[in-house]
């Protein structure tokens, strides 16, 4: 059996999901392709618009913020771990509306805390999901009427 070209391997990898350039590079390096082959493949993928980090970042932000209900900080961290460039990350995360973030935080509290549970526990939960302190405070105040008295 003959070894696939770096471009073929990358196209197969991208066919499954949007990937960052760093993820494609790691995949090709793990398959022991030469650096020149990797560079040629990356360049060709960009030319064909198969590899578009901005598109991937915006789709990931949409998925993580709306489907998984994560806050800005956690979304940014996920993009960073996938190797997305800082400028692209900041631009994509900036699309998350503050009001929408508060709605998501309140929705998470409604799902997880049906009664007046521990405020600190609920706050830690929202922080772990990547929400700002201001959003956490507002969500706690909306969800727990007794929180404002506290």
**Average pLDDT score over the chain:** 91
Most distant CA atoms of the chain, gap in Å: 71
Spatial separation of the C-alpha atoms in residues 74 and 130, rounded to whole Å: 4
Cα–chain-centroid distance for residue 148? 32
Any idea where the domains of the chain sit in the sequence?
A: 6-47, 53-93, 98-147
Higher pLDDT, 18 or 144: 18
pLDDT digits (tens, 9 = 90+) for 71-107: 999 999 999 999 999 999 999 999 888 788 999 998 8
pLDDT digits (tens, 9 = 90+) for 97-137: 878 899 999 889 888 887 666 778 899 999 999 999 999 99
| Number of residues in the chain | 150
- Cβ contact 85:48 at 8 Å: no
Alpha carbon distances (Å) from 120 to 15, 75, 90, 112, 124: 43, 23, 29, 14, 6
Q: Which residues of 37-76 are buried (b: 16+ CB within 10 A; e: fewer)?
A: bbeebbeebeeeebbbbeebbbebbeebbeeebbbbebbb
Does the reported pTM lie above 0.85? Answer: no
In this structure, of 18-22, 111-115, 140-144, the range with the lowest mean pLDDT score is 111-115
How far is the CA of 67 from the CAs of 59, 73, 87, 103, 123, in angstroms? 11, 16, 24, 13, 21
Separation CA 88–CA 39 (nearest Å): 21
> 42-69 pLDDT, tens per residue?
999 999 999 999 999 999 999 999 899 9
């Amino acid at each position: 059996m003959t070894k696939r070209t770096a471009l073929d391997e990358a196209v197969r990898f991208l066919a499954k999901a949007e990937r960052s350039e760093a993820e494609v590079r790691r995949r090709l390096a793990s398959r022991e392709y030469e650096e020149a082959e990797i560079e040629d493949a990356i360049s060709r993928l960009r030319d064909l618009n198969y590899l578009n980090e901005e598109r991937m970042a915006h789709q990931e932000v949409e998925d993580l913020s709306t489907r998984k209900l994560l806050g800005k900080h956690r979304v940014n961290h996920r993009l960073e771990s996938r190797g997305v460039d800082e400028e692209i990350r900041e631009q994509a995360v900036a699309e998350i509306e503050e009001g929408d973030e508060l709605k998501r935080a309140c929705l998470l509290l409604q799902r997880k805390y049906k009664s007046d549970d521990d405020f600190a526990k609920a706050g830690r939960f929202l922080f772990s999901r990547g929400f700002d302190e201001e959003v956490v405070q507002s969500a706690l105040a909306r969800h727990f009427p007794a929180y404002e008295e506290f």
